[in-house]
Amino acid sequence: MEPVLIEKDPPVAWLTLNRPEVRNALSLEMITAVSSALDTIAADHSVSVLILRANGPAFSGGHDISEMSRKNKNINEVREIFTACNKMMLKIHELPQPVIAQVQGVATAAGCQLVAACDLAVAETGARFATPGVKIGLFCSTPMVPLVRVIGRRRALEMLLGGRFVSALEALSFGLVNRVVEPEKLASETVQWATELAAASPFVLALGKRAFYSQVDLDEKSAYEYAKEVIAMNCLDEDAAEGMSAFLEKRKPEWKSGRETG
């Protein structure tokens, strides 16, 4: 089987982790396949929103422990796995399209990291999240990076130091996921949300996502200076002119700009 699948129904696309027999473990092969798929989607101007999902009962159980624990493995081989994984996670933020994680079952360790790295997340009521590496002698240091940025220090440390499973509703209260829905509604609710987002200008979605991540860790004054330049440039784009005209004329806008990539 292919480790990942790509499906499209423009303006929405789906990237599906496709190794259910190993709980969609993030082996180097899987990581490489996801990275390649993200490159393909980034270049596809027919896609405005991406849904990241998984086949099988689990979203992802994290890294492939058998791969990392293989005897005679040296530090450079282990480092290669985490270097590739870091690049994959960063690609999600660099992707011009918003990415929604569609989560069922468990999302643990690097699987939890993957959820935290996505822009938005929907989980079914039975989903559970954990960074349990501490229980097997492996502190989840790389999952820590997006996790602390999404849910804050105290809650991130609770998950990282304790390794316990967090329910979908608790993850919602933490801010790890945006919405929790019944299992039978997970796919339909996620695609409905993606479709609603995709109604916006592709140019503005890409510009806004890039601007968000560029300013989020700046000090307040620097963030305002940066945001001022972004919105000033945005105001001169033809989609802004079209959107404001459509608002005043009480009609649906017809977007004209291509996706912002600069």
Q: 164 pLDDT exceeds 80?
A: yes
Do 228 and 98 belong together in one domain? no
What residues make up the domain containing 223?
A: 202-248
What is the spatial distance between Cα 58 and Cα 122, in angstroms, rounded to a whole number?
14
- State the pLDDT at residue 256: 86
Question: Where a domain ends, among 163, 182, 198?
Answer: 198
Query: Would you place residue 68 in the very low, low, confident or very high pLDDT band (cuts 50, 70, 90)?
Result: confident
Q: What is the mean pLDDT of residues 133-155?
A: 97
**Percent above pLDDT 90 for the chain:** 92
CA dihedral for 138, 142, 148, 153, sign (positive or negative): positive
24: phi > 0 → left, psi -120 to 50 → alpha, else beta; which?
left
Query: Would you place residue 154 in the very low, low, confident or very high pLDDT band (cuts 50, 70, 90)?
Result: very high
Query: Would you place residue 261 in the very low, low, confident or very high pLDDT band (cuts 50, 70, 90)?
Result: very low
The number of distinct structural domains making up the chain is 2
CATH number assigned to the domain comprising residue 84: 3.90.226.10
**Residue 260 within any structural domain of the chain:** no
Do 191 and 166 belong together in one domain? yes
- Could you report the per-residue pLDDT of 75-115, keeping only the tens digit for each? 898 899 999 999 999 999 999 999 999 999 999 999 999 99
CATH number assigned to the domain comprising residue 235: 1.10.12
Q: How distant, in Å, are the alpha carbons of 36, 67, 102, 112, 146 from that of 262?
A: 21, 38, 28, 30, 24
Question: Where a domain ends, among 160, 176, 198?
Answer: 198
DSSP label at residue 158: H
Do 244 and 138 belong together in one domain? no
The contacts of residue 245 (CB under 8 Å, 6+ apart) are: 253
- State the pLDDT at residue 72: 73
What is the spatial distance between Cα 123 and Cα 132, in angstroms, rounded to a whole number?
19
Q: What is the mean pLDDT of residues 143-164?
A: 98
Q: 140 pLDDT exceeds 90?
A: yes
Q: 197 pLDDT exceeds 70?
A: yes
Contact 168, 125 (CB under 8 A): yes
Query: Mean pLDDT score of the chain, rounded to an integer?
Result: 95
CA dihedral for 207, 208, 213, 219, sign (positive or negative): positive
Query: Order of strands across the sheet with 179-181?
Result: 4-9, 12-17, 49-54, 99-103, 120-124, 179-181
